[in-house]
Amino acid sequence: MASKKPIPLVVGNWKMNPSTLAEAKRLVVQLRTLARKFTPDVSVVVVPPSIYLSDLTRLSPSGRLQFGVQNVWPGSTGAQTGEISVSMASSCGATYVIIGHSERRASGETDEQIAAKYQSVAASKLTPILCVGEATRDPSGDYYAVVETQLTRALAGSKKAQLKRTVIAYEPVWAIGTGQTSTPADVEEMRLFIDKCLTKLFDRATARAVRVLYGGSVNQKNATELFIHGGVDGFLVGGASLRSAEFARIVASVSST
Ligand code: 13P
C-alpha cells in the first residue's frame, strides 16, 4: 500500500537572533498571520533562542505556529550550568527540539552526546529534528559515509516508534550561511541515501515514515525547485527565517494551496 505523503514542514532556526525580545515578538506577530494562512497544509515551526520561548508561545495561543528549542541536555534536572532539559522546553511550549546542529558539533558536541540527547527527546512527547551533513563534498563521495556514521551513532538502539516521529535535517555544512546550495538532484540523492541507511538500521516501513528536511542557504528563490525536485518533506531555514516576507514565500513554496 502506498504510504501517504507527510504534511510539509518548514522550520525557522533563528540561532542567536534577534538581539532583543521586542524584535522577536514583532517577528512572531508577523509569522502567526502566516501560520494562519498555511496551516494545516504546512506545519510551520519557529525555533527562537530558548530565553524568549515562553513570551513568544504566549503570542500564538492557537498552536498553529509551533515552537522548538535549539538544543537540550539529557535528564530532567541537575547540576548543568547553562543547560535546559526536555521537560523545561516542553513546559514552556516547545514541541520540537533541534539536535546535533553542525554549529554545535563544531563547538565540540560529540556523537555520544548527540545520541544521549536524541534518546531523551525521543522518549518524550517532543519531536526530535536530528541534523546531519558533511563538512565538505569530496569528489570520491566520502560524504555519504559521513552522513551514515552520524545517523548510525545517533539512532542505533532507538525504537521504531520513536524513529517514525523523528525528523532528519540534511544540512551540508558548506551550504550553511554561505549562499551555496546543494542542487535539487544532489538533495534527492541524499534523501534516497538517508532512506537506505534508515532501512538498514530499522526497516523499510519505519524509514519511509521519517520526514527528511533540507537546510543550507534555502531562500525564496531556490525553495520551490529544491522542494519539487529534491524529494524532501520541507526545510530547515536559518537566515531567511528572520525575514517574515521571505519566510512566508518559502512556506508558500511547499504548500499545495
Ligand atoms: P542558513 O539557511 O542561514 O544557511 O542556515 C541553515 C541552518 O543552519 C538552519 O539550521
Residue 229 a catalytic site member: no
**pTM assigned to the model:** 0.96
- Catalytic member of 103, 134, 171, 246: 171
pLDDT at 17 over 60: yes
CB 171 near ligand 1, within 6 Å: yes
Over residues 216-247, the pLDDT tens digits come to 999 999 999 999 999 999 999 999 999 999 99
CA of 238 to the centre of ligand 1 (A): 3
Cβ–Cβ < 8 Å for 10, 250: yes
Query: Which residue's CA lies nearest to atom 1 of ligand 1?
Result: 238
**pLDDT exceeding 90 applies to what percent of the chain?**
89
- Catalytic member of 101, 103, 134, 246: 101
**Per mean pLDDT, which range of 26-30, 103-107, 119-123, 136-140 is the poorest?**
136-140
What number does the ligand 1 atom closest to the CA of 176 have? Answer: 4
What number does the ligand 1 atom closest to the CA of 239 have? Answer: 3
The pLDDT confidence band at residue 139, using thresholds 50, 70 and 90, is confident
Tell me what the mean pLDDT of segment 74-98 comes to: 97
CB 63 near ligand 1, within 6 Å: no
Cα dihedral 226, 230, 232, 237 in deg (nearest 10): -30
What number does the ligand 1 atom closest to the CA of 218 have? Answer: 2
Fold observed for domain 9-253: TIM Barrel (3.20.20)
Query: Which residue's CA lies nearest to atom 2 of ligand 1?
Result: 238
pLDDT at 91 over 60: yes
CA of 197 to the centre of ligand 1 (A): 24
Distance CA 73, CA 83 (A): 6
